[in-house]
Chains A and B, each alone.
Chain A
Amino acid sequence: MAEPGRAEPSPVEGGRPGRAARTALATNAGPGRVLVGVYALFALAAGARSAYQIATDLAAAPLPYLLSALAAAVYLLAAVGLARAGHTGWRVALACCTVELVGVLAVGTYSVLAPQDFPDETVWSGYGQGYGYVPLVLPVLGLLWLRRTAAAGWR
C-alpha cells in the first residue's frame, strides 16, 4: 500500500478518483488491477501448459517447454509484485516486466531464426503470436504502468 507521506489528495470530481488521486506505488489499483488479472491468467495458462508438457514429454521439445515454465514463473511473480504494491512489489514487477520484454524479443527472434530448435510453441516464440501477441504487448503496458506509479526518485 501507499507509503506514509507519499499519499496524494484523494478522490476528485464525480466521485471517481482522478489521475492525481492515485497514490504513488499503488500498482494494484485502476489499470494495475487489470494487469494483475491478465498476469495471473497468463501465469496459469503458461504454467499449466508447461507443467503438462514437461511431465509428459520433455524430451520432445526441451527448450520451448522449459522457456514456457520460465515465462510462467515470471508472469506469476509480476502478478504478485503488482498486487502487493509498495516499494518491493514495484521493483519485483519492474524486474519481471523487463525480463519479460527481453525474453519475448530474444526468444521471438531466436524462434524465427532457428525454428528447428522450436518443434513446439512457447508463450514467447514468434513474439507471442500463439497468444495473440499479448506476451509482447503486456510487458510494455506493465512498464508504462510502473512508470506512472513510480515513486518520485524513480521517475
Chain B
Amino acid sequence: MSSGLAVAVIACSLVLAAGCLLTAARDRAPGRVHLAGAAVVEAVLLAQVVVAVVRLAGGERPGSLVTFVGYLVAAPLLLPAAAALAALERTRWGAVILGVAALVLPVLMLRLQQLWHG
C-alpha cells in the first residue's frame, strides 16, 4: 500500500462522485466523460493493488490478512460493476449508481489503509 496512491484514489473518486451527482441533479444520463473518469480512478486503484500485492509478496503483513485481501479483491470490482449497472439505466439514475459507487470507494480505500497500518 502506498499512502500517496491512497490519497490519489480517494481524491479522484470524490471528483468522479461529484461529477456524477451533478449530472444526476441536471437530470442527465452518464456519458463517455463519466466512463473515462471511472477508468482513471480504476487505473489509479489498480496501481495501488499492484503495490499492495508486491509488498505482500515482499513479506509485509497487514493487521488482518484475510480481511485486507478481501477488500483488496472487492475494491477493483466496484466501479466496473457500477458501470455495468449504470449502462442498463440510461437515465439520471445511472449517474446516481456511478456516483454512489464513487462515494463507497473512498470508504474502502480508508478501510484498506486502516488494515494495512493496523
B27 touches A48 (CB 8 A): no
> Inside 8 A of A52's CB, which chain B residues have their CB?
66-67, 70
A48 touches B70 (CB 8 A): yes
A33 to B104: give the CA distance in the assembly, Å.
17
A36 to B66: give the CA distance in the assembly, Å.
27
CB distance from B9 to the nearest CB of A (A): 18
A16 touches B27 (CB 8 A): yes
B89 touches A33 (CB 8 A): yes
- The dominant DSSP class at the B interface is helix
A17 to B89: give the CA distance in the assembly, Å.
11
Interface string of B67-101 (1 = CB under 8 A from A): 10010001000100110010011011110110011
> Inside 8 A of B100's CB, which chain A residues have their CB?
34, 37-38
Interface string of B8-38 (1 = CB under 8 A from A): 0000000000000000000101000000000
Size band of the interface chain A makes with B: 10 to 19
Answer whether residue A54 sits at the interface, using C-beta atoms and an 8 A cutoff.
no
Q: How many residues of B contact A (CB 8 A)?
A: 22
Residue in B74, B93, B104, B107 whose beta carbon sits within 8 Å of that of A30 in the complex? B93
A17 to B93: give the CA distance in the assembly, Å.
11
B27 touches A41 (CB 8 A): no
> Inside 8 A of B82's CB, which chain A residues have their CB?
37
Chain A interface residues (CB < 8 Å from chain B): 16-17, 29-31, 33-34, 36-38, 41, 44, 48, 52, 56, 132
12 contacts between A and B (CB under 8 A): A16-B92, A30-B93, A31-B93, A33-B93, A33-B94, A34-B96, A37-B82, A37-B97, A37-B101, A41-B78, A44-B74, A48-B74
Known: A33-B89, A44-B74, A48-B70. 12 other contacts (CB 8 A): A16-B29, A31-B93, A33-B93, A33-B97, A34-B97, A36-B85, A37-B97, A41-B78, A52-B66, A52-B70, A56-B66, A132-B107
